[in-house]
Amino acid sequence: MKRHRIILDKLQEEKYVEVANLRKLLNVSGVTIRKDLKLLEDKGLLFRVHGGAYLDNPYIYERNIIDKEKIFIEEKISIGQLAADLITENDSIMIASGTTVQGLSKFIKPKVKLTIITSSLNVANELIKHKDISVLQLGGYVRHSSSSVVGSYATQILDDFSCTKLFLGVDGVDLEHGLTTAHLEEALLNKKMIKSSQKVILLADSSKFGKKSFARICSIDQIDEIITDNKISPNTVAELQEKGITVRIAKNST
């Protein structure tokens, strides 16, 4: 059917389509579009979600940090380099867990004293090399899959701190559902980090957009800035900017 071909072509181009936009494009009812998407999903050609459909499965599960370190390497390097440029004199920084924010720690070269709070063991190990950086490692249970800590000890201590910037990593970013991670306790810690920070900066490569995981961290409007790579959809960038979020596109490091 010609209508199905148009839907699939649009999906190949944009990776995500909305029922409302398809209805206008094809001049048919929303009911007709939803039936089309159901039929195409039954054939294994797309994944339906509320209000639209994705080309790839939007639901993601926990992966080991060792596996994560091997993918999107160049994107994470360029994102980390750009994020490091945002750190200024007298900043007190919080860095969450994840391989993208771990990449940030490799590019922090302080010219003045800097205080950094982190839940990531790998971030702490990287930053401890700098004598001008004071590192506060959060305590708690260590997650083997992420080399980071979670639990009540980590969340309670944040009551005593207020940081200028939080650099946050996530497993998924959905414009409607918000930011998600595969681990519930990590989501709870991230929520507390957001409350303890004046500015929230999300570091996420373009593969994270349009994806969801098990535990919700926050809505998208709780993010002040996003740093991602140049493979992100221009439509996604436009929607984020309409929500008042600053989007920074990191240049490929190669």
pLDDT of residue 254: 46
* Cα–Cα distances in angstroms (integers) from residue 14 to residues 18, 45, 184, 231, 251, in the given order: 10, 14, 31, 11, 21
Q: In CATH, what number does 2-54 get?
A: 1.10.10.10
Tokens, residue 206:
């373009």
What's the whole-number average pLDDT of the chain?
A: 89
Residues of the chain with pLDDT > 70: what percent? 94
In the 8-state DSSP scheme, what is residue 138?
A: P
Kindly report the backbone phi and psi dihedral angles of residue 166, in degrees, each rounded to the nearest multiple of 5, phi listed first. Answer: -115, 125
Asked if 196 and 163 count as a contact pair (C-beta separation under 8 A), the reply is: yes
Q: What is the dihedral of CA 99, 100, 102, 106, to 10 degrees?
A: 130
Threshold 0.85, pTM exceeds: no
Tokens, residue 152:
């009540």
Q: d(Cα 109, Cα 130) in Å, to the nearest integer?
A: 8
Averaged pLDDT, 208-231: 93
Choose between 46 and 107: higher pLDDT.
107
What's the pLDDT band for 18 if we cut at 50, 70, 90?
confident
- Which of 8, 43, 42, 41 is CA-nearest to residue 22? 8
Given a cut of 50, whether residue 109 has pLDDT beyond it is yes
* Cα–Cα distances in angstroms (integers) from residue 166 to residues 18, 163, 169, 185, in the given order: 32, 7, 10, 18
pLDDT of residue 93: 95
Residues of the chain with pLDDT > 90: what percent? 64
What amino acid occupies position 63?
R
Q: In CATH, what number does 65-250 get?
A: 3.40.50.1360
Least confident piece of the model among 29-43, 52-66, 141-155, 174-188:
52-66
pLDDT of residue 69: 58
Residue range 235-251, pLDDT digits in tens: 889 999 999 999 999 98
**Where along the chain do its domains lie?**
2-54, 65-250
pLDDT of residue 60: 66
Asked if 40 and 46 count as a contact pair (C-beta separation under 8 A), the reply is: yes
Tokens, residue 106:
């490799």
Strand partners, 133: 114
Q: d(Cα 200, Cα 220) in Å, to the nearest integer?
A: 11
pLDDT of residue 165: 97
Given a cut of 60, whether residue 211 has pLDDT beyond it is yes
Q: d(Cα 13, Cα 225) in Å, to the nearest integer?
A: 26
Residue range 33-89, pLDDT digits in tens: 999 999 998 988 988 877 788 887 777 666 555 555 555 789 999 999 999 999 988
Q: d(Cα 10, Cα 4) in Å, to the nearest integer?
A: 10
Q: Which long-range contacts (CB under 8 A, 24 or more apart) does 27-30 make?
A: 28/3
Residue range 2-16, pLDDT digits in tens: 899 999 999 888 888
